[in-house]
């Protein structure tokens, strides 16, 4: 623990005292590790520790976005180019004008697989089947005119752009271009010899409830038989299948919207390297960071009939990263990163030269009720520490 950040220790302890699961918290400041904390409740492999790794759920989307930005920074991907420039068979079904930026900002209209030709949960491990299905799917709304969270499809869309441009799978690109230079314990597609380090998530599926979603829609007078609603509810059910994500075959697969595996040290170190050098390695330059965190959805609304639902904590996106919002405040305006179902969180704040990774093993965050209460004590303590520097 670096001097000046001592209050974060007590705050983390308070935050976790009523949580029967385990958690890790790591903070980098000006490229240096300043906070490195973890709980020590028992696991099947002894007390929990900093080297255990966990499912990061939708924090995975931040890893995936980073890979696309690396290619854009090298001039190999143009955010404003049609996806079909890189993936020609994607142009079918009215998708010829969908841009890379539309995909990254959840504006593409492909928030779900075709509800009339659904993809089963077990099919999510089959890359060619999933991307083939998306290439055939017609958008659920006019691309670019609205946005809605692409909970599952985001990873296949962005990941296939990477594969078509670079030739490597998204998971291999991440391993070679992000994890290896920074010596990270971070994977999309976990090697078998690392499986013993994974601590399963508990209360799997508690953070997303498709039945509740259907009731909210029905109570709002929404036609739950519409193509958009059928697709969106199916996507929610796939995202809620947290128990399946505890299986080895799910860890081994590449599901770049949600099955990333990492520890807090690696999440924080990756985000630190997005905004500045870490042991001589910087991933993104300042222009790319500014492009990536520029708001992309503030002028848009959810597509009809999703726009009939109450939205107390509306989503905000840059290019692939979540931006500061009520339910995911991070360190306020300027922050960018991604939360994950159940309470995972990873982000950076460039102006404060700070990056954070938080992992947990119990899915406890209900996104309808605001920020995860486990985040609040240490976030405030971190804010206070930074303000004193």
Catalytic residues: 58
How far is C-alpha 23 from the geometric centre of its chain's CA atoms? 18
Q: What's the CA angle centered on 67, arms 272 and 283, to 5 degrees? A: 35
Residue with tokens 């992309």: 296
Q: What's the CA angle centered on 381, arms 380 and 382, to 5 degrees? A: 90
| Token code pair at residue 285 | 């330059």
The three-state secondary structure class of 259 is strand
Bridge partners of 99, per DSSP, are 82
Bridge partners of 143, per DSSP, are none
Say if strands 336-340 and 54-55 run parallel, antiparallel, or are unpaired.
Answer: unpaired
Instruction: Count CB atoms within 10 A of the CB of residue 177.
Output: 19
| Contact of 73 with 177, CB cutoff 8 Å | no
Residue with tokens 């093993």: 361
Query: What gap in Å lies between CA 126 and CA 349, rounded to an integer?
Result: 36
| Token code pair at residue 257 | 């919207």
Strands (E), the chain: 23-29, 32-38, 42-43, 46-47, 54-55, 186-187, 261-262, 322-323, 336-340, 344-349, 354-360
Cis peptide before 305 (omega within 30 of 0): yes
Dihedral of the CA atoms 212, 214, 217, 219 (nearest 10)? Answer: -70
Query: What gap in Å lies between CA 172 and CA 189, rounded to an integer?
Result: 8
Phi/psi at 358 (5° precision): -135, 125
Classify the phi-psi angles of 137: left when phi > 0, otherwise alpha if psi is within -120 to 50, otherwise beta.
beta
The three-state secondary structure class of 70 is helix
Query: What gap in Å lies between CA 386 and CA 205, rounded to an integer?
Result: 35
């Amino acid at each position: 623990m670096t001097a000046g950040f001592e209050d974060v220790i007590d705050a983390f302890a308070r935050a976790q005292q009523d949580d029967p699961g385990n958690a890790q918290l790591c903070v980098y400041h000006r490229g240096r590790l300043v906070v490195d904390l973890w709980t020590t409740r028992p696991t099947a492999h002894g007390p929990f520790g900093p080297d255990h790794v966990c499912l990061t759920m939708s924090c995975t989307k931040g890893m995936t976005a980073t890979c696309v930005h690396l290619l854009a920074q090298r001039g190999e991907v143009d955010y404003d180019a049609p996806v079909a420039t890189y993936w020609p068979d994607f142009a079918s079904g009215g998708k010829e004008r969908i841009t890379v930026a539309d995909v990254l900002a959840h504006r593409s209209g492909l928030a779900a697989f075709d509800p009339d030709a659904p993809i089963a949960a077990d099919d999510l491990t089959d890359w060619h089947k999933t991307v083939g299905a998306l290439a055939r799917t017609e958008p659920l709304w006019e691309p670019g005119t609205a946005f809605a969270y692409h909970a599952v499809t985001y990873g296949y869309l962005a990941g296939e752009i990477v594969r078509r441009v670079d030739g490597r799978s998204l998971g291999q690109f991440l391993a070679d271009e992000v994890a290896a230079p920074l010596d990270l314990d971070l994977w999309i597609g976990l090697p078998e010899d690392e499986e013993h380090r994974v601590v399963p998530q508990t209360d799997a599926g508690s953070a997303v409830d498709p039945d509740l979603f259907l009731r909210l829609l029905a109570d709002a007078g929404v036609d739950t038989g519409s193509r958009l609603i059928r697709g969106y509810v199916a996507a929610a059910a796939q995202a809620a299948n947290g128990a399946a994500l505890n299986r080895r075959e799910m860890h081994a697969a590449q599901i770049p919207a949600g099955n990333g595996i990492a520890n807090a040290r690696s999440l924080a170190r990756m985000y630190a390297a997005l905004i500045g050098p870490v042991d001589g390695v910087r991933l993104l330059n300042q222009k790319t960071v500014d492009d990536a965190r520029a708001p992309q959805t503030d002028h848009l609304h959810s597509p009809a009939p999703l726009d009939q639902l109450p939205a107390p904590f509306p989503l905000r996106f840059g290019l692939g990263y979540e931006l500061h919002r009520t339910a995911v405040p991070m360190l306020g305006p300027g922050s960018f990163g991604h939360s994950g179902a159940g309470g995972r969180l990873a982000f950076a704040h460039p102006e404060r030269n700070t990056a954070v990774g938080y992992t947990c093993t119990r899915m406890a965050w209900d996104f309808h009720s605001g920020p995860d209460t486990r985040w609040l004590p240490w976030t405030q303590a971190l804010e206070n520490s930074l303000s004193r520097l």
